[in-house]
A and B are shown apart, each in its own frame.
Chain A
Amino acid sequence: ATVRAEMLSVYPAKTKKKREKQLLTNDPGTPPEIAANTRTIPGIITQRGCTYAGCRGVVIGPIHDILHITHGPIGCSYYSWATRRNLARVKPGQPVNYLQYSMTTDMMEEEIIFGGEKKLAAAIREAYRIFKPKAIAVYATCPVGLIGDDIHSVCRKAKEELGINIFGFSCEGYKGVSQSAGHHIANNGVFKHMVGLLDEPDKAKFRINVLGEYNIGGDAWEIDQLLQKCGIHVTATLSGDISYEQICKCHTSDLNVVMCHRSINYMAEMMETKFGIPWVKVNFIGAEQTAKSLRKIAKFFGDKQLIDRTEEVIAQEMAALRPVIEDVKSRLKGKTAAMFVGGSRAHHYQHLFKDVGMLTVAAGYEFAHRDDYEGRVVLPTIKIDADSRNIEEIEVEADPKRYNPRKTPEQIEALKAGGFSFKDYDGMMVEMKKHVLVIDDISHHEMEKLIETYKPDIIGSGIKDKFVIEKFGVPCKQLHSYDYGGPYAAFTGAANFYKEIDRMIGSKVWKMVTPPWKKSTQE
């Protein structure tokens, strides 16, 4: 509590008043209400990015066989060019991975003054002539909304002219307060323009979609392999290593499992309403969590063989993993971590640290909402403020032909009676210890104070913080890019992570920071 007071003490009154609500000491029994998804305080040094990043960079960017054209000046497309590690493998019959390209209308002063619609239309035509893609997605950036370019009508016309699917996203950077608005806009667009276009289900049994998994460092491949071993088929992973076709037919699957709740819960809800596909929250980060998630999926299908096979796989994987855990734990038990990551991992990764006996002393998100902190129970009480009010909510209804509830009401009741829960996200706070700090949209100043006070053994954060933290002599694991390593998902990924953390905390370099002539005693 004193840390909290100290963190807040330097702020001007108005800033303090706001930060007080975003910086809490936890109570897992009754999570206190946190102010989240509110506007960023100017000048505070936030980690946050923008709506364009959330839409183009995160949710849709990973679709690797459609073209992504950024309508704007050069920067936005440039910075979102291959910097997020949503890996993709080209599929047979699809010889091109477009993620190696960055495409933009490169708006100039002329387009700002006279409008950029003509240039956008020409750019789409040129892109089509060169690449002949299946579909083209167009993204708006800050100036587009202000000068009034109607990207949607340009896309509609181009679609008629070229005969392929072309659609736009109004994800101007100033919308909402963070990347989060971009997720929402992306979900709406993907749902409107792609999901449901292809009505042919995969032939496999036990079909699921993994929603909100972006294949950073190969995570989705790891999850996919594991599910395959159990006999579960993934129709589509939204949107790590996903093809256009997979998105178009993902509504034919029977269960949606949600990894990143923040970025994709909209899609999960809309698919349930329109097509009758139920969704559950899972987590493939951490050994225990992975096992739990597998059991949950098997239980949903309720097939004896599947359940047995899943238990076998878990037993095998855990047997292989246990010696690694024990070895790493012998060195890391009792060590501490803090984590400040996007809208999901600050929670998920606590499990990996817990597996090896480490404690999370503080955590927070850049852009999560209250439900990600406090659980979905608070959803009815969340008020949408003025800054996010203009983010479109689309009305979805049951599809007259294709709505097909995957379970009968009796089956659902039976599952629930057996302890199964749908749409079940309890948030981060209930799983964190009492009195630890929960910080939303952490500022640089708060990060510095945190390091001084807690001296955590490791901090999980992003590229902008990494070298700040390491200048203090504290290792920082990037939990966005994985420091170019990974995968960290599922059992094999967990082993990678434990070893990585062990390496980082145990590195000799930290002991060499102080030159010998500055040490009081010789070592």
Chain B
Amino acid sequence: MLDGTTAEIVERKALRINAAKTCQPIGAMYAALGIHGCMPHSHGSQGCCSYHRSHLTRHFKEPVMATTSSFTEGASVFGGLANLTQALRNIFSIYNPEIVAVHTTCLSEVIGDDIPTMIRKAKEEGSIPEGKMVIHANTPSFVGSHVYGFSNMVMGMVNYLSEKTGNTLNQINVIPGFVEPADMREIKRLAKEMGVKIVMFPDTSNVLDGPLTGQYKMYPEGGATMAQIKSAGDSIATIALGHFASHVPAATLEQKCNVPASFLELPIGVQATDRFVSALRGYAGVDIPASVELERGRLIDLMSDLHQYFHGKRVAISGDPDHVIALTRFLLELEMKPVYCITGSPGNQFEKRMHELLDPVVPNAKIKQCGDNFELHQWMKNEPVDLLISNTYGKYIARVENVPFVRFGFPILDRAAHRFYPTLGYMGAVNLINQMLNAFLDKKDRECAEEWFELVQ
């Protein structure tokens, strides 16, 4: 397995091998699915849309709907106006969404299609029915990564939908970042537990983790409603979780509607969740309820019970920047040693923040933006680790290097129940601890000498 990967590192400036990122539109599609009654639309050739739908489906094991402009060679040369107009007419007639959220691909970005003008024209000639909405985001695949695509589509929501009426509502916006439906559900639960009213967008819970009832619903129960996103302009404040996925849209909302934004990291682990909970408490002026404190206490209890298994363990992490930053922070709380940390996404903020976190405790850690799993594997060959945490693509490395492996982030293509378990919040941290411990002890039980095979651990 991966026999072409050698410990010797040949410098690469042009060739990307086994990427730790994918392209913008899939992030935009995911974000758009977090709007209730929304049809995501991919303005490009149809291959992108099929790939993005397939990939999201493989991760969630759920239907993922989206339409495409289905560019042909002609449209690629002369522009995709006719394709988009025809698409909108068909989408509203056949599938009747409340809103269509258009994103672009490298194709329509290279030819320079002007989407706002196209939407306006479609509106003028009646291809968009009264009361229906079309929004857009430019998501060129040759810039950033899928996380940027997510951020851009959330910005599209703010740009088109959020409004300030002047009538401030007693609610707090939460932009959750490119996280799982289970995480979004966990954020809502925490807020509810605290008695804080939040408006979260996008929100894919009850969209991509739906039930099987014998009735297929093209537009499932979940998703932030257009009215909610609109009302975000009247909220007290916005809490944006994750620099890469959420900060720009929150800043945009601050500019547009004067809603002050609080920029946090993803609430993974103790202190990051403390900060999130404290931010909710501060803005809403509520006390932290006993139930939330109890959850926190249980997590601390678990961390103390299992400290021996985590302390000093060397970890390699590959994933999306917000996830890697937040996870690293949690692993440091467990006194583990994140020694190799990469993200495929570009952005200096990643390396800056990771150095802040790691330099004092793991001074020799290798940290890299625009890294890939090929190089990560080479580092591991040179100096092994005790644990690998990444999306499914890490399983090849884990097998060949015989390293305990925890699946985390996007995408997880080879397991299913992950969609019900958060990694955010105190309970999410419990889930992560459980997974890491199982990975460590399964390996020990499988490989240790018989006399060390023990009943109680």
Contact = CB atoms under 8 A, between A and B. Distances in A.
Interface of A: 10-12, 14-15, 39-53, 69, 72-81, 83, 90, 95-98, 100-109, 111-112, 119-120, 122-123, 125-127, 129-131, 141-143, 145-147, 173-177, 386-387, 390, 443-445, 448, 462-464, 466-468, 470-473, 513-514
21 contacts: A11-B93, A39-B72, A42-B87, A45-B65, A50-B45, A50-B50, A79-B54, A83-B55, A102-B18, A103-B16, A105-B15, A130-B10, A142-B76, A142-B107, A142-B110, A143-B110, A387-B74, A390-B73, A443-B94, A462-B54, A471-B217
A49 B10 contact: no
Contact of A75 (B1, B6, B22, B64): B22
Given A96-B4, A126-B15, A131-B4, A514 B89 contact: no
Contacts of B213: 471, 513-514
B241 to A, nearest CB: 24
Nearest to A177: B72
A81 to B, nearest CB: 8
Contacts of A15: 90, 93-94
Given A46-B70, A73-B141, A464-B64, A101 B110 contact: no
A462 B26 CA distance: 19
Contact of B46 (A49, A90, A386): A49
Interface residues of B, number: 81
A66 to B, nearest CB: 12
B166 interface: no
A470 B210 CA distance: 12
A512 B452 CA distance: 45
Interface in B183-238: 210, 212-217
Given A100-B396, A142-B44, A513-B213, A109 B140 contact: yes
A79 B72 contact: no
B48 interface: yes
Nearest to A133: B4
B288 interface: no
Nearest to A175: B73
A146 B111 contact: yes
A45 B107 contact: no
A471 B72 contact: no
Nearest to A129: B10
Among B17, B18, B64, B83, max chain A CB count under 10 A is at B17
Given A74-B21, A75-B141, A143-B110, A100 B16 contact: no
B48 to A, nearest CB: 7
Contacts of B63: 464, 467-468, 471
Contacts of A10: 93-94
Contact of B145 (A74, A107, A143, A463): A74
Interface in B251-290: none
Contact of B90 (A42, A120, A514): A42
A471 B212 contact: yes
B91 interface: yes
Contacts of B75: 174
Given A96-B3, A177-B72, A463 B12 contact: no
A50 B61 contact: no
A126 B14 contact: yes
A375 B426 CA distance: 62
A53 B47 contact: yes
A39 B50 contact: no
Contacts of A39: 70, 72
A108 B1 CA distance: 30
A126 B13 contact: yes
Given A75-B23, A143-B107, A146-B110, A43 B142 contact: no
Given A174-B71, A467-B63, A102 B90 contact: no
Contacts of A102: 17-19
Contacts of B71: 174
B10 A147 contact: no
B106 interface: yes
Contacts of A176: 73
Contacts of B18: 81, 101-102
A387 B70 CA distance: 12
3 tightest A-B contacts by CB? A50-B47, A43-B87, A75-B23
A270 to B, nearest CB: 24
A289 B112 CA distance: 51
Contacts of B212: 470-471, 473, 513
A69 B61 contact: no
A73 B23 contact: yes
A43 B73 CA distance: 17
B57 A463 contact: yes
Contacts of A48: 46, 50, 70
Contacts of A120: 14
Contacts of A46: 46, 50, 68, 70
A386 B73 CA distance: 9
A101 B25 CA distance: 23
Contact of A468 (B1, B4, B216): B216
A43 B22 contact: no
Contact of B19 (A40, A74, A97, A177): A74
Contacts of B90: 11-12, 15, 41-44
Given A101-B18, A119-B14, A44 B67 contact: yes
A78 B66 CA distance: 20
Contacts of B106: 72-73, 75, 107, 112, 141-143
Contacts of B91: 43
Among B13, B23, B69, B93, max chain A CB count under 10 A is at B23
Nearest to B56: A464
A513 B45 contact: no
Contacts of A41: 70, 86, 90
B58 interface: yes
Interface string B18-52: 11011101100000000000000100111110111
A469 to B, nearest CB: 8
Contacts of A464: 50, 53-54, 57, 63-64
A112 B142 contact: yes
Contact of B86 (A43, A78, A463): A43
Nearest to B100: A43
A106 B23 CA distance: 10
A177 B6 CA distance: 41
Contacts of B331: none
A76 B52 CA distance: 10
B214 to A, nearest CB: 4
A239 to B, nearest CB: 20
B115 interface: no
B73 A174 contact: yes
B62 interface: yes
A445 B95 contact: yes
Contacts of A466: 57
Contact of A126 (B12, B44, B74): B12
A40 B214 contact: no
B22 A126 contact: no
A307 to B, nearest CB: 43
B216 A448 contact: yes
Contacts of B1: 97, 100
Contacts of B105: 142
B374 interface: yes
Contacts of A50: 45-48, 50
A73 B142 contact: yes
Given A79-B54, A173-B48, A473-B212, A42 B84 contact: yes
B300 interface: no
B68 to A, nearest CB: 7
Given A11-B94, A73-B106, A120-B14, A101 B4 contact: yes
Interface in B310-360: 344
Contact of B15 (A53, A78, A103): A103
A130 B16 contact: no
B19 to A, nearest CB: 6
A104 B110 contact: no
Among A72, A81, A102, A462, max chain B CB count under 10 A is at A102
